[in-house]
Each structure stands twice: as C-alpha cells, then as structure tokens.
C-alpha cells in the first residue's frame, strides 16, 4: 500500500476528431514526465474532443487506443485514465478507461449524458458505478456532467479519491470550480478534475481550470487557467485518516438507495 499517491494532471488542447494526432500528443506529454508517477489523468474524450460524430472516432475495447494505453502504462509503471468513444454491440459509449501497469482494464460508462448537447441521442448512458482499488487507494472515477449530480458521487464506499475527466466549457467554468471543491468537502476525499483547453470543432472554448482539492477543500495544484501543461500533485493517506478521525463527518451521512 502506498501512503502517498503521485498523480499527473494533463491539461491540454485536443485535435478535433483525430485519435492518431491525440495519441501522439499524449505520448509526448507522458514521455516528458521525468518523475515516478502512480497515476496519469487525461481529459474526457481525449482522442477526439467532445464530438457527437461517434461513428467517425469510435473504437473497440481491442482497438488502437486501448492497446496504446496498456503499452504506455506498462512502460512507465503507472496507471492511466481518461475517457474515449467506444462502440460495443452497435452502441456508442462515452467510456472512462482505467488501465493498470499489469495491463488490466476497468471501465465506467458515463451515467449522466449531457442532454444540452444531445449526448443522450448518440451515447448510451451507463448504469453502474466503478470503484478502483489501486496501490492501496480506493478511487472513484466519473465523467464531466456527472459532477452536477452529488448523489451519484456520494462517498458511501469510503473512497480516498474522487476524480472527474471533462470537456467543460469556459462559459460555465464557475460551476465547475464550485462543484469540484464541494465534492471534496462533502465527501471528505481528495477530488481531482482534469479539463481540456482550446477550441473544439464546434467553436466552444475551454479554459481548463483543472484542479486538485484535499479533504478540507484546500487547493493542491497551481495550474493556471488556459495553459497547456502537466502538473504533478501528491496525495497523502495520512491526511485523509487524520481529518476523517478528527472531524467524523462521514459518520453522520444519510443512508439512501439509488434507483
């Protein structure tokens, strides 16, 4: 079990509907990381941008991007996560992949498809949550619009890290900032959100605001708005244990069931 978890947050522009170009971009950025890292987080739909042209960019679970993630994960001895467009049984999913250095793959299909952009008309919504156990850490990964739904993210599993991968536009970034911090505080967990920058093929602008918060809602990173960069943050199990034992807020959480 690792007491500390070193996490690389990659905030960057994305080539519109061009998986090959994006894989090349992220290969360069990952290969440029000189420190030993436990987890690398990429944005939502990192091979294509937030496109509704699913058939143009969709891959299978035995496709190029999955193999690419497995190879990089093994080479750098780190887990890699981010979402891509996956096709399965003639259906499209906005699927988050969590790839471990041993080649193992776990996945989560985005539950809350973004109806404002008609995502629900192209992608099938998932129905199951994913909780990953990795190096002694319990991690719950979610995708973009899921951030607006606190019940779906509620810490009933005593997870250590809640993470979101996103294509969250600049026009609504105030909500992104507020909700990421709130999710950390209410769940007494680390909360990380990795967002993209730049313009997409539909003309929407993204300013990043990638961020990492501790269990008290204190900001850990120093990533500036709009910049194309990678930052590494270190998470501590001791920090989680200290404040959960001292404050005990999770002991008072309400019981509920999801339907």
Q: Which residues are catalytic?
A: 44, 110, 144
Beta-bridged to residue 209, according to DSSP, are none
CB 230 within 8 A of CB 171: no
> How far apart are the C-alpha atoms of 128 and 183, rounded to whole Å?
19
* Helices H / strands E in the chain, number of each: 7, 13
CB 131 within 8 A of CB 116: no
CA distances from 255 to 8, 151, 156 (A): 34, 11, 9
Strand ranges (DSSP E) for the chain? 4-11, 39-41, 79-88, 91-99, 105-109, 132-134, 137-143, 161-165, 190-194, 197-199, 205-207, 211-213, 229-236
Q: Report the SS3 class of residue 68.
A: helix
CB 43 within 8 A of CB 194: yes
Closest CA to 68 of 27, 104, 7: 27
Closest CA to 2 of 234, 184, 211, 190: 234
């Amino acid at each position: 079990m690792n007491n500390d978890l070193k996490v690389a947050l990659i905030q960057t522009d994305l080539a519109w509907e061009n998986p090959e170009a994006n894989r090349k971009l992220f290969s360069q950025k990952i290969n440029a990381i000189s420190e030993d890292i436990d987890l690398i987080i990429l944005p939502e739909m990192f091979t294509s941008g937030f496109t509704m042209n699913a058939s143009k960019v969709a891959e299978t679970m035995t496709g190029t991007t999955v193999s690419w993630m497995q190879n990089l994960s093994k080479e750098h001895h780190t887990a890699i996560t981010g979402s891509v467009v996956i096709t399965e049984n003639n259906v499209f999913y906005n699927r988050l992949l969590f790839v471990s250095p041993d080649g193992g793959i776990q996945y989560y299909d985005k539950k809350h498809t973004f109806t404002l952009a008609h995502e629900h008309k192209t992608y099938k919504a998932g129905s199951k949550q994913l909780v990953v156990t990795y190096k002694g850490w319990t991690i719950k990964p979610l995708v973009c619009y899921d951030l607006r739904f606190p019940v779906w993210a509620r810490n009933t599993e005593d997870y250590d890290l809640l993470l979101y991968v996103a294509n969250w536009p600049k026009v609504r970034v105030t909500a992104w900032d507020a909700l990421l911090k709130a999710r950390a505080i209410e769940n007494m967990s680390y909360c990380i959100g990795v967002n993209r920058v730049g313009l997409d093929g539909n003309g929407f602008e993204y300013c990043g605001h990638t961020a990492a918060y501790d269990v008290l809602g204190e900001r850990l990173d120093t990533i500036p708005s709009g910049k194309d960069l990678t930052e590494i943050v270190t998470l501590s199990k001791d920090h989680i244990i200290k404040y959960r034992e001292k404050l005990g807020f999770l002991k008072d959480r309400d019981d509920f069931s999801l339907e």
